[in-house]
Structures are given as C-alpha cells and as structure tokens.
Amino acid sequence: DTAVSQTPKYLVTQMGNDKSIKCEQNLGHDTMYWYKQDSKKFLKIMFSYNNKELIINETVPNRFSPKSPDKAHLNLHINSLELGDSAVYFCASSSNRRQNYGYTFGSGTRLTVV
Amino acid sequence: GQNIDQPTEMTATEGAIVQINCTYQTSGFNGLFWYQQHAGEAPTFLSYNVLDGLEEKGRFSSFLSRSKGYSYLLLKELQMKDSASYLCAVSSGGNKLTFGGGTRVLVKP
C-alpha cells in the first residue's frame, strides 16, 4: 500500500519523559511535515523537510527536534514532555511537482501526557 | 500574518445541500484546499482551487474568488457519512499549508 505511516498510533506517557514518533512515506514525495492538532482541532504546522533539509521551523519549543535521515522518513523527538504537549500529531508529505494534490496525511499519533 | 475563518459548526438534513464558507487573509497565495476529516482520522484531500471559479467533483464543488479572499465548499445530496469536519487551507508558497479551524458538519436523518 502506498501511504504515509506513522507510529505509534497512541502514546501515553508521564511528564518529564522523552519520546519519539516515527513517520515514513513510500509515495516518492519530496517534502514531509509535522503538524499538531490540539483539542480545538486547529492543525498547526511545526516543521517541514524538503529532501532532508529543514525548510520550515515554526515557533516550537526546542524540546521538539525533528530528524530526517532520508527523504522518505521524518521523525519527531520530544524531550521533557509537558501536559500541554498532549495533542494529535500528524505527519504529512507532498510532491514539489504536484502541489495541486496537497498533502497526504498519516493516521496521526495521539499523545497523552499525564 | 495568516488568518483563515470558517464557521465552527453546521447542521443539515440527509439529502439536502450545505455550503461551508471560508474567508482568508494571507501573505501570498498559491492555492486553496479543502480537506475532510472524520473524527479520530486523518484529513483527506477533497479539492484544490487556484483560479477563480467553480470546480465540481461529483457531489462536492468548491468555489474561489481571489479578489474577495473567499471560498466555499458545496456538499450536495448529503449522506450520513458526510458528517465530518471540513478544513479550509491556504498555500502561501513554499509548500506551506495554513489551516482554518475546521467546520464540523452534522448530517441528521
């Protein structure tokens, strides 16, 4: 199946812990993203990588660190988790050559910090 | 800055038509997208408009007026499965999509 897949789907952890979310796409897309969707359902961009190069870095605490080992993978590591980090995190990808198709999203990771 | 506004919630009856409006003010414009998001799922692509006018795709149509900073998504012959959130998003170049808060549509029998 061609898709954007992210793991884990659910993550429950205690404040202060460090956790990672992984994302992989096999669509041959050039650009990958991390978005955060809060309880009010707003989708806000956090980071974007184009061919392993960071191109968008919104105002995000530096506890969040993305890493792209190759253009098919984009991981998100979060240090010292806080209650306010609880949200659904979506990975997405897009093609530079076919921008009219928009993004393809992964199924999301629901992070709950307790 | 970027500002995208759409109503929070709408209710309609099965078989009816619903129009979801979206107004935007963005620095740069490279196209407007509509996405559908069912509860607990990922957003899925519905439509893309970059030129003024109406784009029709089956039961769904999307309209754009760039001079007015306005778009709407029209859902015809509503079905129960159309109950979802509908997200308006603007591309301001550089592959960056800015999303509105979404409109939750509830279809009643």
The whole-number pLDDT of residue B66 equals 96
Q: Give percent of chain B above pLDDT 90.
A: 84
Provide the shortest C-alpha distance from residue B32 to chain A (in Å).
9
A91-112 per-position pLDDT tens digit? 999 987 777 778 999 999 999 9
Determine, for residues A45 and B97 on separate chains, whether the beta-carbon distance falls below 8 Å.
yes
The whole-number pLDDT of residue A2 equals 66
A25-44 per-position pLDDT tens digit? 999 999 999 999 998 888 99
A79-106 exposure pattern, b = at least 16 Cβ within 10 A, e = fewer = eebeeebbbbbbbbbbbeeebeebbbbb
The whole-number pLDDT of residue A98 equals 72
- Answer whether B101 touches A (CB < 8 Å): yes
Report the distance separating Cα A35 and Cα A47, nearest Å: 7
Q: Which B residues, 14 through 73, put their C-beta within 8 Å of a C-beta on chain A?
A: 30-31, 33, 35, 41-45, 48, 50
- Answer whether B106 touches A (CB < 8 Å): no
Lowest mean pLDDT among A20-24, A73-77, B39-43: B39-43
The whole-number pLDDT of residue A110 equals 96
